Every structure is written in C-alpha cells, then in structure tokens.
Amino acid sequence: MRIDLHAHSTASDGTDTPEQLMAAAAAAGLDVIAITDHDSTRGWDEAACGLPAGLTVVRGTELSCAHHGESVDGAPGRRTSLHMLAYLFDPTAQAFIDERIRLREDRRRRGREIVDRMIADGLPITWERVSELAGDGAVGRPHMARVLVEQGVVTSVNEAFDKYLRDSSRYFVDKADTDVFAAIALTLAAGGVPVFAHPFARRRGRVVSEAVIADLAAAGLAGIEVDHPDHVPEDRDALRAIAANLGLIATGSSDYHGTNKTTPLAAELTAPDQYERLLGAATSPTRPLVGAASA
C-alpha cells in the first residue's frame, strides 16, 4: 500500500487543481493521498468529486504555527516557525474556521507587502498577477516566485526563493501564525489528528528540540513527519526514535507542490500500520473517501 500524506493544490500554493492532484496521485501509483493545503479546506470538495477509482483521499490542512521558547540551540525566549498538519477534522468547527480565515487573510496582507517592496526596487511584478495565480486559495511566496519566472527575472521557482524570497531576503515579511499548542487544541477539539510537519527541516531555518516535541506530545500531538524530502538520514533516524519513545505516529510524505517544487508525488511514503494508527486517532465524522469504479 502506497500512502503519501502531505500534498498541496491550487487551493494554496500548489500548481495542480485538486482534481488534477487526485489524477496525479493515481498516476504515481498511490493508494492514499492527503490534500493538505495551507490554512484551507477549499480543495476538499473538488478533490472528492474528481477521485479516481480505488484512490483514497485523506482530507486535511497545514497550519502555519509558532513556538515561543527554547529552540534547538538552547536560546531562551526565541520564536520558531513550524507547520502542523491537521487530518480528518470536522470542517464545520467554528473556532477552527475562524483561525484559518485569520491566517489566510494575513497571508494576503503579507503577500501584498512583499510585492510592494519588490515593486519599489523595480522588479517586474504586480499584485494583480500574484492574486490571479492565487485565485481563491491562500497566497504564498510560490505565487510571487512564479511571476518572477514569467517575467524572466529568474529561471525557476527555486532560484526565485534563493535570490528574492528566502527568509533572510530583504523582501521577507513575517506572517501571523497560530501558537502551536493552540493549533493542537483546535485540531483535537474538531476531532482531528495533529501531526508535526517536517520538524527537523533545518534548511528552512531554526528547528525545535526533542524536549519541545515531548511538550507537544503531552499537549496531544499525535504524530511527526519522519520521512520528508527536507530531512537528512541522521535526522530521520533521530525522529523515528523520538516517535517510538513518545508513542507518536511516524508519517512519511512528499510535500508535493506541483511544478512549484521539484519533489514528485510518492517521493516519501507512510507505512500502512502508521496510517491505520492515524485513522484510529480521528474522532470527527470526517473520514477518508474512496473513489468508486464506474458503473
């Protein structure tokens, strides 16, 4: 059984529509695919409508979060950005809806400020084009990167991030995040399953320590993403040991974004027994959907 539990569509910063994402998952030989757009469930309905026969879709989201306190280097009082995957939660839970709306609105505010800074420096980018690419989905830096590619400023999304959009860039703007403990509480209250996304993705910036992961587990964290393209082998081994020590679900996934990233679907996979644990941890009415064969 081939299971990929982290993928994005045009409902956030992927380039495949939700229906195209489902077709791509089937073409990649996946049995299970999770749609986890940033701060949004807008792709859920289209993914369900375009579900190929036999393919299972797990519905979720990826929340932008922050931890305030110790970081991996032991410095006190520091803010560390991280992402939380929430699976199989009730999409009608109002407190969770309100938080996702807040995050999406701030993503738009932040995106506009980044674009304005680029325009001030003479870069050929417009907010209108970024908004067009984002559509009704959450605005993200990959949308700006794609405009820079279109305008010939760079040759790839990766180059756009390296030169203009990385966290250390002059154009970087902070965004609103959910306190990570609040994100866990919101997910659990909605009957969902919280899983820490790419916890040791050091190339993205500062990461939290094992002690922090233990604190998150004590607060109800159900799992950690172990096998991820941004994790080196040594960190995967460490995370697998942490998951075993804390009784956490150990997932694996591609973090697929279509052409916005070079990583293909099914690049990393979740073991079937860990997937069954994730299903068993959900308490909401939201369950995976399976594509039916044509009559």
Neighbour-count burial for 209-232, b at 16+ CB within 10 Å, e otherwise: bbebbebbbeeebbbbbbbbbbbe
- pLDDT score, position 71: 44
- Once rounded to an integer, what is the mean pLDDT over residues 210-239? 97
pLDDT tens digit sequence for 258-278: 988 889 999 999 999 999 999
pLDDT one-digit tens code per residue, 133-175:
888 777 889 899 999 999 999 999 889 999 999 888 999 998 8
Q: What is the pTM of this model?
A: 0.87
Cβ atoms of residues 240 and 264 within 8 Å: no
First-last CA distance in the chain: 25
Enumerate domains of the chain plus CATH numbers. Answer: 3-103+175-290 (3.20.20.140), 114-165 (1.10.150.650)
Q: Is the separation of the CB atoms in 187 and 96 below 8 Å? A: yes
Q: How many helices (H) and strands (E) does the chain have?
A: 10, 9
Output the six-digit token pair for 289: 């959907």
Question: Rounded distance, CA 121 to CA 111, Å?
Answer: 16
Binned at pLDDT 50, 70 and 90, residue 17 comes out as: very high
- 92-111 per-position pLDDT tens digit: 999 999 999 998 889 889 99
SS3 119: helix
Closest CA to 61 of 90, 93, 84: 84
User: Angle, to 10 degrees, between the axis of helix 141-150 and the axis of helix 127-134?
Assistant: 120
Average pLDDT, the chain: 93
